[in-house]
Structure 1
Amino acid sequence: MDQVPEILREVAEQAIIPRFRALSGGDVSEKSPGELVTVADREAEALIAPRLRALLDVPVVGEEASSDAPGLRAALHDTAWLVDPLDGTSNFIAGIPDFAVMAALVRNGRTVAGWILRPMLDGARLTGWRMYAAELGGGAWRDGERLWREPARPPLSGAALTRFFDPQARARLTAAQVHFRRLTPGAKCAGVDYPRVVDGEQDFVLFHRTLPWDHAPGTLLVSEAGGMAARPGGAAYRPAEESVGLLAAADAASWKRVAALVF
């Protein structure tokens, strides 16, 4: 638990931060229709993966490696590392500091540890870091201090990344908006939106697409901080499960209240 944050921080300082607001045209490419990747994503993952395997020699399921070899995700049914080397790539490309570096450890198909590293930036100058960590049954932490999210009070405020919503999901969300105090598109970065729930900045976050590297760290963080993160039917999130729909909320009552409106 103590060594992973240092790995993420060192790699971010080496491969990601120097390129923030300094990308050239050749540093950005399209890995699939509408999905962009940068040299920072690829280099960071290539540096993180072997260092995690040196801690625990199990497969590393990285976002970029899995893009080239989807079969890697089969390891998530057993024991594996998960790596999102640069969550919020579109924000990074646009010069918006809402991005994160994330990792998780999966055992027997369950997320047992997760880390979300957020750089603190003043312009393009790094001023510090914010590290979120969670361990199954061991709690959630922000910069070494224990996190506990108090239950939310209605009307609730939240975020929904609607980019991947189907028409039915969009219609349900549109009808539900009148019941919320505030509903935003979110940060377009799971590594920002999950911490906003545990920090009390929003009461819930709703996703449609649920790729494992995006959601394994954040769902564990919310759950270990006293919240609830689950599929539409209430089942816990499992990284190997290929399904749609995921809601994380400050507490179980808030989760049920929002789920009844949007699912």
Structure 2
Amino acid sequence: MEKVAEILVEASAEAVEPRFRALAADEVMEKAPGEIVTVADRDAERIISRRLRELLPVPVVGEEAVAADPDLARALSVEPAAWLVDPVDGTNNFVAGRPAYAVMASLVRQGQTVASWIWQPCTRTAYAAELGAGAWRNGERLTRDPVTTTPEKWTGILKTRYLAPPTRDRLLANSRALGPLDPGRGAAGIEYPLVATGERDFVLYWRTLPWDHAPGSLLVTESGGRSARFDGSSYRPEPPGGPHGLLVAADPAQWETLHEILLRSL
């Protein structure tokens, strides 16, 4: 666990942090309509992928490698084990000079996330989780206070960008039964830890790319929460194009109540 954390910190120091608020115009490219990538993403992924393979020689499913060759993501379904890498989660924030970005990795075995790491360079905060063993922040075990039983006091994040307008409108209408909503941080590696540490009670996502959600989902579940699809099935990282929709809550009982409130009539 410690070795992977070191790899993320060192790759960030070498390839990511020196370019924060220092990117040249030709170091930011569009890899797909509305999706940008930087030299920091690509360089960090190369460093992390090489070093993870040295640690455990299994396929690496990196966000940028999959953008170039989508078939690489099949390893999550067909290989006994695979690494997942998101070299700069929150690239839009990174390019804009906003500090809400993270460097992330996960280990997947038999289609299930068994370990995950999140490094937030701007706050020097490291999160890690291991299936069945717990979750940690900067080496200290994560435990959060019990969730209030009053939904009107629950605060959370609704990520509605990819929802069809009618579904988005119904979701927002249903959310009026809850507490104040947060528009989100533009980076799953920032948002999931908010739930794990008690700063927010829930997050609802529609698009669930595996490198974005495997690290945080394990972090939340190992800190006592629940991350599950809208049909109630536990989250498992799948290649892009798989199921949509994910509700993440700080407590399993809270998840059930949130599901009833938010997803009714959807």
Shorter-chain TM band: over 0.9
Equivalent position SS for 1:209: coil
Paired AA for residue 19 in structure 1: R
Paired AA for residue 59 in structure 1: P
Q: Please tell me whether residue 98 in structure 1 is matched to residue 100 in structure 2.
A: yes
What are the equivalent positions in structure 2 for 1:215-254 lying under 5 Å apart? Answer: 215-240=213-238, 242-254=242-254
> What is the aligned partner in structure 2 of residue 111 from structure 1?
113
Equivalent position SS for 1:141: strand
- Asked whether the 8 Å contact 1:150–1:250 carries over to 2, the reply is no
Alpha carbon RMSD of aligned pairs, Å? 1.1
> What is the aligned partner in structure 2 of residue 24 from structure 1?
24
> What is the aligned partner in structure 2 of residue 202 from structure 1?
200
Paired AA for residue 217 in structure 1: P
Aligned residue pair count: 256
Report how far residue 59 of structure 1 moved: 0.1
Report how far residue 168 of structure 1 moved: 3.5
Report how far residue 169 of structure 1 moved: 2.8
Report how far residue 19 of structure 1 moved: 0.5
- Asked whether the 8 Å contact 1:157–1:203 carries over to 2, the reply is yes
What are the equivalent positions in structure 2 for 1:27-46 lying under 5 Å apart? Answer: 27-46=27-46
Please state which structure has a larger fraction of its residues in strand. 1
Q: Which aligned segments of 4 or more residues in structure 1 are displaced greater than 6 angstroms?
A: none
Sequence identity (%): 55
Equivalent position SS for 1:97: coil
Q: Could you tell me how far apart the structure 1 residues matched to 2:102 and 2:94 are?
A: 9
> What is the aligned partner in structure 1 of residue 128 from structure 2?
133
Gaps of 5+ in 1: 122-128
Paired AA for residue 129 in structure 2: A
Give me the TM-score of the superposition, normalised by structure 2.
0.94
Q: Could you tell me how far apart the structure 1 residues matched to 2:161 and 2:233 are?
A: 23
> What is the aligned partner in structure 2 of residue 126 from structure 1?
none
Q: Could you tell me how far apart the structure 2 residues matched to 1:114 and 1:145 are?
A: 15
- Asked whether the 8 Å contact 1:169–1:262 carries over to 2, the reply is no
Q: Could you tell me how far apart the structure 1 residues matched to 2:51 and 2:195 are?
A: 30
- Asked whether the 8 Å contact 1:161–1:188 carries over to 2, the reply is no
Moved more, 58-67 or 152-161: 152-161
> What is the aligned partner in structure 2 of residue 9 from structure 1?
9
Report how far residue 185 of structure 1 moved: 1.3
> What is the aligned partner in structure 2 of residue 158 from structure 1?
156
